[in-house]
Amino acid sequence: MQAGTEVLAEAVHLPVLCKESIDALNIRDGGCYIDGTFGAGGYSLEILSRAKCQLFSLDRDPIAIEKAEYLIRKFGDRFSISQGCFGDMEVLLSSVGIGSVDAIVLDLGVSSPQIDNPDRGFSFKSDGPLDMRMGSEGVTAEHIVNTLSEAELADIIYKYGEERLSRRVSKAIILARSKERITRTSVLADIIRKVVPRRKKGRDNDPATRTFQALRIYINDELGELKRGLNAAERILTPGGRLAVVAFHSLEDRCVKKFLAERLGRNRGVSRHAIAQEPSYRTASFKLITKKPIYPTSLEVQSNPRARSARLRVAERTAAPSWPRQWFND
C-alpha cells in the first residue's frame, strides 16, 4: 500500500451518522456544499466521493487543516478548506467568491482526534495540560479554573454542564487552587470525583463528565458558535438546500430544535404583539425533513461507543426570506 493510500484509509474512519447525514443532503453532480466541521475528514470524503461536486470545508483547529492534504491531492480543485469557525461561513465563503450553497453538514462538539490527544486537554480519562481549546486562540481551561470566582465557576458548570452539584464542585476547585495551581486534567478530574458521587446509570457516569463538558463549551463558545452557524446557514442555503446537524448533548440539540421551531413559525414563546408588528417573520424559512431526530443504530454504537448520544436533525430551506439575526440570540 502506498503512503498516500494509507493516509486515505486512515481518514475513512467514518464519523457518527455519516451515511444518514450525507444521504439527507441529496449530493449531486455540479452541486456546492459545506462541511462546517472537517475534523478527520469523514464527511468531506463521503461528499466528494458521491458526486462531481464542489466542497468547501471549515475547521477552527489548525491540526485538522493540516490533515486535509490527502483530500486536496485526491480531489484537486473540487475541494478547498479554510481555518475558521462555521459561524463565520458566510464571510469565509464570500472571500472566495461563493454566495450560496446547496447543502451544509455540521457535526457538533469536540472531534475524536481532539479527545484522543491528551495534549489537547479535553479528556478526564488521561492526563494532559488543562487546555480544551478547539483552536489555537483564546483562554485555556487552566486560566478559567484558576482565575474565575466561585460563583462564576458554579454558574458555568451548572449552565453548560447541567451539573446539579455545581456549587460543590466550584467550592472544591477554589479550595484546591488556594494550595496549588491546577494545571493538569487528571488533577481537576480527581478534585471533582471527591465531591460528586458516581452515577450508577447513564453515559456520564464519571463524576467529571459534566464539569469537563461545561468548561469546554464555555471556553470555545460552542452554543454561541452554533447559533451563529444556524443563522448563517439560513442566509446562504439555496431554496431546496439541506441542513444536517449532528448533536451530542441536550444543550446542542435544544438549540437546533428551537431554531428550526422558530423558522417553521412554531415558537409559541414569541410575543403575539411582536408577530403583529413583523408579520413577514412568520413565513417559514425551513421545512423539516426529519420530524424526529435520527439516532445511530445499535451496531454503530457497538462499534463506536461515542455515538450513543448522537442525534441527527435535517431541514430544507424554503424560498422565504431569511429571518432577522436577532431572532435567535437567546
Q: Which domains does the chain have, with CATH numbers?
A: 3-113+222-328 (3.40.50.150), 116-220 (1.10.150.170)
**Phi and psi at residue 16, to the nearest 5°:** -60, 135
C-alpha cell at 139: 483562554
Asked if pLDDT for residue 89 goes beyond 90, the answer is yes
Whole-number average pLDDT of the chain: 90
For residue 14, the model assigns a pLDDT of 77
- The residues pairing with 104 across neighbouring beta strands, listed in sequence order, are 34, 243
Nearest to 252 by CA among 16, 13, 34, 26: 16
Asked if pLDDT for residue 105 goes beyond 80, the answer is yes
Q: What is the mean pLDDT of residues 152-156?
A: 98
Q: What is the mean pLDDT of residues 169-190?
A: 98
Q: What is the mean pLDDT of residues 40-51?
A: 96
Nearest to 319 by CA among 284, 288, 290: 284
C-alpha cell at 24: 439527507
Distance of alpha carbon 237 from alpha carbon 233, whole angstroms: 6
C-alpha cell at 207: 463524576
